[in-house]
Amino acid sequence: MTYVVGLTGGIGSGKSTIAELFAELGVPIIDADLVARQVVEKGSPLLAEIAAHFGPEILLEDGALNRAALREKIFANETQKHWLNQLLHPAIRHEMLRQLAAQQAPYCIFMVPLLIENNLTALCQRILVVDVLEHTQVERAGQRDNNQVEQIKRIMQSQVNRQERLKYADDVINNNEDLIANLPQLKQKVLDLHHLYLQLAEKFNER
């Protein structure tokens, strides 16, 4: 059985950067955001249901999902957000569990932004939190996605706060510094954790 390390952090924390560093070491990454995209790919039954509910404006010209338009609708309306979650969460969970069960490596990284909020910690043997200050989150998310500050803050409010997230952490990577300048230190931290997780995975599978 593969040892599962849950990787989480708030918007703009740099989770993807950390996951890429693990991937460079040959560690399989199961990315909840990628799974969420897969279940609503162009032509999928779930995308058809979403379009029927929200209208054709949430589709791009090529028939794919217009994520920006959908995000605007659900973060402004809790009822619509709930409807979407009820539709997508079972399908996403099913696919994540399928991918976890298929792993053959000693351990894998299970990257989920809402790991705590969606009660997925029970699927993990260990939790790694990427931690940054709130103003860093706003700055990075704004630069990356050209999101409005208000929208970023609404997303942050939908996530657990830093203090609550850190309560779940077995390991923490502080990623508050400039990503490029701090890359050597991040690589070393990930390498150290990689060796630790290999040891934990070995003990886990000896039981």
**Predicted local confidence at residue 45, as pLDDT:** 94
Task: Tell me the C-alpha distance between 163 and 28, whole Å.
Answer: 29
Domain ranges within the chain, ordered by starting residue: 1-28+106-207, 38-102
Whether the per-residue pLDDT at 207 is higher than 80: the answer is no
1-28+106-207 folds as: Rossmann fold (3.40.50)
Residues 6+ apart with CB under 8 A from 162: 10, 131, 133, 134
Q: How many residues does the chain have?
A: 207
How many other C-beta atoms are found inside a 10 Å radius of the C-beta of residue 187? 13
Q: pLDDT category, 138, cuts 50, 70, 90?
A: confident
Tokens 């999928």 correspond to 44
Three-state DSSP class for residue 117: coil
Radius of gyration over every alpha carbon of the chain, rounded to an integer in angstroms: 18
Taking residues 3-17, what's their average pLDDT? 93
**Predicted local confidence at residue 153, as pLDDT:** 82
As given in the structure block, the two tokens for residue 55 are 């209208």
**Predicted local confidence at residue 147, as pLDDT:** 61
As given in the structure block, the two tokens for residue 35 are 């799974």
Angle CA(129)–CA(4)–CA(113) in degrees, nearest 5?
Answer: 40
Residues 6+ apart with CB under 8 A from 207: none
Whether the per-residue pLDDT at 134 is higher than 90: the answer is no
Q: What is the pLDDT of residues 25-56, one digit of tens each?
A: 999 999 999 999 999 999 999 999 999 999 99
Closest CA to 76 of 161, 155, 156: 155
Whether the per-residue pLDDT at 143 is higher than 80: the answer is no
pTM value is 0.86
Sheet holding 171-174, edge to edge: 29-31, 107-111, 3-8, 126-131, 171-174
Cα distances (angstroms) measured from residue 69 to each of 8, 48, 59, 92 = 25, 16, 8, 21
Taking residues 90-115, what's their average pLDDT? 95
Q: What is the pLDDT of residues 147-180, one digit of tens each?
A: 677 778 888 888 899 999 999 999 999 998 887 7
- For strands 29-31 and 126-131, give the pairing: unpaired
